Amino acid sequence: MNKTAQMNSGIFQINLEKTLKEIVTTKAIQSDENRFMIVPVDEKGKMLDGSDEMMKRLVLTKENISNKQLVLKEVVDVLGGLLPKSPIWINVSFLEMNGEKAIFKLETSLRFRKPTLLRNAETGHTPYKAII
């Protein structure tokens, strides 16, 4: 269980950057630019509260994010929309190179929780986990 007492857009972005560095270093990815595809994961049997439902229906919709390649700031703006609450977990994986751009997939929980309830504290960059 993560005992991080705070989460803001700066911490959220730094933690994503740390996760990227882990993947880029391990896979020896060389790119001038990183882009991200957000993939919301519907967790069977997990209850969504009112703010989770709002994010699911208004922000994390197919129209808003499906097949879109976002820059880092856009990811922070989208997934950090309820900060200090953030997705309880986000799995980050490398998809492909597209020219000079490295494309990463962000599989994200639709459950937004306060910092003390976030997963992946052991990674040092909660709520992110590098999938290598």
Give residue-wise pLDDT tens across range 17-68: 999 999 999 999 999 899 999 999 999 999 999 999 999 999 999 999 998 9
Amino acid identity for residue 128 in this structure: Y
Task: Please report the pLDDT score of residue 5 as a whole number.
Answer: 72
Q: What's the pLDDT band for 2 if we cut at 50, 70, 90?
A: very low
Q: Does 127 sit behind a cis peptide bond, omega within 30 degrees of 0 on the bond before it? A: yes
pLDDT (tens digit, 9 = 90+) per residue, 68-119?
Answer: 999 999 999 999 999 999 999 999 999 999 999 999 999 999 999 999 999 9
β-bridge partners, 107: 39, 91
pLDDT (tens digit, 9 = 90+) per residue, 95-104?
Answer: 999 999 999 9
pTM confidence score: 0.94
Are 31 and 100 in contact by the 8 Å Cβ rule? The answer is yes
